[in-house]
Structure 1
Amino acid sequence: MIRVPAEPVGRVSDAWRQCVGTGRIELALRRDYQDSLALLQREIGFRYIRGHGLLSDGMGVHRPYDQGCFRFVHHSFTYVDQVVDAYLELGIRPFLELGFMPEDLASGDETVFWWRGNVTPPHSYPEWADLVRATLRHLVDRYGLDEVRTWPIEVWNEPNLPDFWQDADEAAYHRLYEVTARTVKEVDAELRVGGPAISPGADDWLERFAEFAEHRDVPVDFVSKHAYTSGPAQHVPFGVHQTLAPAHELLDQFATPRDLLKGTRLAGLPVHITEFNSSYRPDNAIHDTAFHAAYLAPVLAGGGDVADSFSYWTFSDMFEEAGVPTALFHGGFGLLTHRQVRKPTYHLYAFMARMGPELLARGEDHLVTRHPDGRVTVLAWAPVDPTGETPGPDRHPLRLSLPTGGGYEVFVRRSTVDEEHGNAYTAWRHMGSPRSPKPGQLDILHEAAEPARAHRRLPVRDGRTDLDLTLARHEITLVELTPVDDETPPWWDEGRLLGREPS
C-alpha cells in the first residue's frame, strides 16, 4: 500500500499542454482539420500550435512580379489570416515556425515531403529579411503587439538534417538565424525568437549555437529541439516497423539542452521541445495503439521537470508529409484520426486535462493530484515492454491510501483505456481494417473509442480512502474521487422498488 501524503508536494506542471504539433499549417483551411482542432480544444485545451510551411508556396505569402525592367515582391496574407483567425477562435495561439523557403526566393530546388517544401537558403538575404519583416508587421497590425509578443518565433526546422536544410550546412543556418533574429527584433524588441530546432542525435549543435550567439551577440530568447525514441525504419508497403527505446529516454532528451548549455550565455533560457513522439514516422502503427498511451504516460507526468514545453507531434492525422494517407488507421502521428476518431493517446491527454493543480504524489506507475474543491484524481498506467520481447504483464496491481478529507464516503468514477476499451484501433482490426469505413462503421469506431466507465462508493476512515486498482495490459486509467454529500431522503428504501412492503 502506497500512502499518499495529505499535503501537496508541489504544483502539477502543465508543460505537456503548452504546445501541440500539426501538419503544415495550410491544412487548417480544411473542415476536417478545424473540426478536429475544435474537439481537441474542448476536451484538452492546448495553448499553442506549431507546424511547418508558414512561408512555403502553399500559403502564398511571397509573390514576386516584374514591372518593366524591375523585380518587385508583393506579400499576401490571405491564407495566413484565415489560419490564424481559426486558431484564435478556437482558443489556441500559433507557435510560429519560419520556413520553408518560397520557390522564387530559394537558392536551389531541393525539397522535402510530398508537398515539396523548399529547404535551400535564400538567394537574397535582404529579401528574406523583407519577408520576415512584412509577415511579422502584418501580424502585429492585425492582432496587436501585445498578442503577438506572446507567440514564440522559431527559426526553421531541423537544420542538422540534409532533408530539411541543404547539406545540413551549420554555418549557413547560423547566418539564416542571425538575419532572421535581428529582423524579428527590429520589428519589436520584445518579440521572442529562438532555435535551433534540431532533431535527436545532434546535441553538439546546441553548444556551437551558444558559441555562435555569444560571439555574434545574436538574440536568442529560447532554445528548441526535438525528441524521438525509435530506431531505423523497417519499411513495408505504406508503413514501417521500428524498435523503441524506453520512454525515459525521451525525458533524457528533454533534459539535454539545460545540461549542455550550463555556463553558456543561453543557460537558463526556456527550453521548448517543439516536437516529440515515440516514432518519427507518420506511418508507424504504434501511434494508434493502447501500448502507445501507456508508454507515454510517464513522459507526460514527468516532462515538466526538465522542459518548459514538450509538443506532441501531432494533434491530427490530417498530415501529408509522406503523401495522402491510404487508410483511416495508418500509423499517423495524430491523437485523432481523420473524422475525429479518438486514439488511446488522445485519452491520455484528456485524462491529464482532468487532473488537479496540486501534486500529491508521483511514482513509476501513477500520478495523484487534488483540485481546489477537494476532489482527488489518480492517473495510473500499466508498465510496458518497449523491446517487444514480452507483451507486458497481464495484470498490474496498484494500492493507494489517499487523503480524501472529512465525510464518510467518496464517489469513485473510473475511466479506462486498454487493449479492448477506449480503443478504436482494436475495433477497426476486428472489423477487417477497412481503408475507408462506411458511415455505419465510423459510428462503431467512435463508439469503440469511448473509455470504459465504472462508478462506485468507497468508505472514508480517518480522512483516508484505500483504492485498490488492477490494471490490464497496456491500460491507462483515470480515477476521480469526490466526497459524497448524500441527499437521499430518509424514507427511501431500495428494497421497495417493486412495491414490496417494508421489512
Structure 2
Amino acid sequence: MIHVPAQQTSTLSPAWRACVGTGRTREVLHADYRDSLALVQDEIGFGASRAHGIVHDDMGLVQPYTHEGVAGTRYAFSYVDLVIDTWLDAGVAPFLELGFMPEALASGPDTVFWWRGNITPPRDHGEWAALTRALLTHLIDRYGIEQVRTWPIEVWNEPNLTTFWRDADEAAYHRLYATTARAVKEVDSGLQVGGPAISPGSDDWLPRFADFVASVDVPCDFVSKHAYTSGPAQEVPFGVHQTLRPPQDLLDQFASPGRLLAGSPLEGLPVHITEFSSSYRPDNPIHDTAYQAAYLAPVLASGGDHVASFSYWTLCDVFEELGVPTAPLHGGFGLLGHRQLRKPAFHLYSFMARLGEAVLAQGDDHLVTRHPDGRISMLLWQPLDGTAVADAGHRVRLSLPASGPAHVVERHVDAERGNVRAGWQAMGSPLAPDRRAVEDLHDASAPAVHIHRVQPVGGRWEIDVRLGRHGIALVEVTGSADQTPAWSDDTQLLGLGGDAG
C-alpha cells in the first residue's frame, strides 16, 4: 500500500510537453499532419515543435538567379510562412533547427534521407551567414521581435554522425556554429542560439564544444542533445528489431550535460533534449505498442528534473526519411499513426495532460497529483526494464487523503485495451484498411473506462488498481455527494417485488 501524503511534495515540471518533434519542415503542409497537429494540441497541448530542413531546397527558400551576367540570390519565404503560421495557429511555437544545406550553398553532393537533405558545410560561410540573417530578419518583421526571441535556434542536427554531417567533422561543425551564432546575434542580441544537437554516444563533444565557444568568444544560450536507448538495427523487410536499455538510461542521458559541463563556460545553461524515444529508427514496431507507453512513463514523470525540455520524436507518422510508409502502422516515430490513429504513447501524453501541478507522491510505478479544486489525478504504469516483455499485469494500491465520498474514473491502455496495434493485427494487418476498418481502429484505440464509487475509511480513500500487461492508467478521484434518490432500487427494475404505487 502506497501511503500518499496530504501535503504537496513538489511541482510537476512542464518540460515533458515543452516541445514535440516534426520530421521534416515541408511535411507540416501535409493535410494528415495538420489534422494530427489539431488533435494533439486539443488533447495534449505542446508548447513548441522542432523539424528538420527549414532551409532545405524543398522549402524553396534559396532561389539563385543570373541577370546580365551577374549572379544573385532571392530568398522566398512563402513556404516558411505557411509552416510557421500553421504552428502558431495551433498554439505551437517553432524550435528552429537550421539545416540542411541548400544545394546552391553546399560544398559537396552528399545527402541523407529519401528527400536528400544535403549534409555538407557551406562552400562559402559568408553565404550561409547571409541566409541566416535574411531568414531571422524576415521572421522578426513578420512575427515581431518579442515573439521570435522566445524561439530557440539550434545549429544543425547530429553533426557527430557521418549520416548527418560530412565525415562527422567536429572542427567543421565548430566553424559552422561560430558563423551561425554570430550571424544570429548580428540580427538581434536577444535571440537564443545553441547546439550541438548531438546523438547519443558522443557526449565527449559537449566539453569540447564548451571549450571552443569560450576560446573564440562565440555566443551560446542553450545546450542540446538527443537521447535513445536502442541497440543496433536487426533488419527485416520494411522494418527493424532492436534491443533496448532500461528507461533509466534515458534519464541518465538527460542528466549527462549537466554533469559533463559542470565547471565549464556553459555550466548552468538550459539543456534541451531535442529528440528522444526508445528506438532511433522510424520503422521499429516498438513505437506502436503498449510497451512503448509503459516503458516511457517514468521518463515523462521525471525528465523535467534534469532538463528544460525533452521532445518526443515525433508528433505523427507523416514522416518520410525512409520514403513513403507502406502501412498505416509501420513502427513510425509518431504519437499518432496516419489518419490520427491514437497509439498507446499518445495516451501516455494525454494522461499526463490531465494531471495536476501539485505532486503528492512519486515512485517506480506512480505519479500522484492534485488539482487546485482538490481532485486527485494519478498516472500509474507497469515498470518495464527494456529487456523482456511481461507475461502479466501489475497491481498498484494507494491510500489517499479523503474529503468525503468520491467517484473514481480509471482509464486503461495496455496490450489488449486501448491498443490500436492489437486491433490492426487482429484484422490481419491490412496495408490499406478501408473506411469502415479505419473507423473500427479508432474505436479500438480508445482507452477502457471504469467508473466506481469509494467511501473514506479513517479519513482515507483506498484505491486498488489492476493494470493490464504493459499497462498504463489515468486514475482520477473526485469528491462527490451521492444524489441517488431514496426510492431508487435496481433490484426492482422489472417491477417484480414492490407495490405499484
1 CA distance for matches of 2:485 and 2:88? 48
Whether 1:433 and 2:435 are equivalent positions in the alignment is no
2 CA distance for matches of 1:97 and 1:60? 17
1 CA distance for matches of 2:236 and 2:245? 21
How many pairs are equivalent? 499
Q: Which residue of the partner structure matches residue 284 of structure 1?
A: 284
Q: In the alignment, residue 382 of structure 1 is paired with which amino acid?
A: Q
Q: Deviations over 1:374-420 (max 9, x none)?
A: 000111111224223xx32413221110113x22x111000000011
| Maintained 8 Å contact 2:295/2:384 | yes
Runs (4+) of structure 1 moved beyond 6 Å? none
Whether 1:112 and 2:112 are equivalent positions in the alignment is yes
| Maintained 8 Å contact 1:383/1:393 | no
Q: In the alignment, residue 258 of structure 1 is paired with which amino acid?
A: G
| Maintained 8 Å contact 1:385/1:392 | no
| Maintained 8 Å contact 2:412/2:449 | yes
Structural mapping, 1:323-334, within 5 Å: 323-334=323-334
Alpha-carbon spacing, 1:381–1:219, altered in 2? closer, same or farther (3 Å): same
Alpha-carbon spacing, 1:249–1:502, altered in 2? closer, same or farther (3 Å): farther
Task: Kindly state the Cα deviation for residue 88 of structure 1 after the two structures are TM-superposed.
Answer: 0.5
Q: Deviations over 1:171-198 (max 9, x none)?
A: 1111110111111111111110000000
Out of 466, 469, 475, the position equivalent to 2:465 is 469
2 CA distance for matches of 1:122 and 1:377? 51
2 CA distance for matches of 1:240 and 1:315? 21
| Maintained 8 Å contact 1:234/1:241 | yes
Whether 1:168 and 2:168 are equivalent positions in the alignment is yes
Q: Which residue of the partner structure matches residue 312 of structure 1?
A: 312
Structural mapping, 1:207-222, within 5 Å: 207-222=207-222
| Maintained 8 Å contact 1:495/1:502 | no
- Aligned partner of residue 293 in structure 2, secondary structure: helix
Structural mapping, 1:281-430, within 5 Å: 281-388=281-388, 391-404=389-402, 406-407=403-404, 409-430=405-426
Q: Deviations over 1:86-110 (max 9, x none)?
A: 1011111110000000001100000
1 CA distance for matches of 2:366 and 2:491? 39
Q: In the alignment, residue 147 of structure 1 is paired with which amino acid?
A: Q
Q: In the alignment, residue 151 of structure 1 is paired with which amino acid?
A: W
Structural mapping, 1:64-79, within 5 Å: 64-79=64-79
- Aligned partner of residue 209 in structure 1, secondary structure: helix
Structure 1 stretches of 5 or more lacking a match? none
Q: In the alignment, residue 67 of structure 1 is paired with which amino acid?
A: H
Whether 1:447 and 2:434 are equivalent positions in the alignment is no
| Maintained 8 Å contact 1:383/1:392 | no
- Aligned partner of residue 23 in structure 1, secondary structure: strand
Task: Kindly state the Cα deviation for residue 485 of structure 1 after the two structures are TM-superposed.
Answer: 3.0
Q: In the alignment, residue 397 of structure 1 is paired with which amino acid?
A: R
Q: In the alignment, residue 192 of structure 2 is paired with which amino acid?
A: R
Task: Kindly state the Cα deviation for residue 472 of structure 1 after the two structures are TM-superposed.
Answer: 1.8
* TM-score, scaled to structure 1: 0.97
Q: In the alignment, residue 189 of structure 2 is paired with which amino acid?
A: A
Whether 1:273 and 2:273 are equivalent positions in the alignment is yes
Alpha-carbon spacing, 1:392–1:495, altered in 2? closer, same or farther (3 Å): closer
| Maintained 8 Å contact 2:257/2:271 | yes
Q: Which residue of the partner structure matches residue 197 of structure 2?
A: 197
1 CA distance for matches of 2:195 and 2:463? 45
Q: In the alignment, residue 337 of structure 1 is paired with which amino acid?
A: G
Whether 1:501 and 2:498 are equivalent positions in the alignment is yes
| Maintained 8 Å contact 1:160/1:169 | yes
| Maintained 8 Å contact 1:368/1:376 | yes
1 CA distance for matches of 2:383 and 2:244? 14
Over aligned residues, Cα RMSD in angstroms?
1.2
Task: Kindly state the Cα deviation for residue 495 of structure 1 after the two structures are TM-superposed.
Answer: 4.9
Task: Kindly state the Cα deviation for residue 487 of structure 1 after the two structures are TM-superposed.
Answer: 3.5
Structure 2 stretches of 5 or more lacking a match? none
- Aligned partner of residue 477 in structure 2, secondary structure: strand
Task: Kindly state the Cα deviation for residue 439 of structure 1 after the two structures are TM-superposed.
Answer: 0.6
1 CA distance for matches of 2:491 and 2:499? 8
| Maintained 8 Å contact 2:84/2:94 | yes
- Aligned partner of residue 346 in structure 1, secondary structure: helix
Task: Kindly state the Cα deviation for residue 497 of structure 1 after the two structures are TM-superposed.
Answer: 4.2
2 CA distance for matches of 1:462 and 1:140? 60
Q: Deviations over 1:128-163 (max 9, x none)?
A: 111000100111111111111110100000000111
Task: Kindly state the Cα deviation for residue 282 of structure 1 after the two structures are TM-superposed.
Answer: 0.2
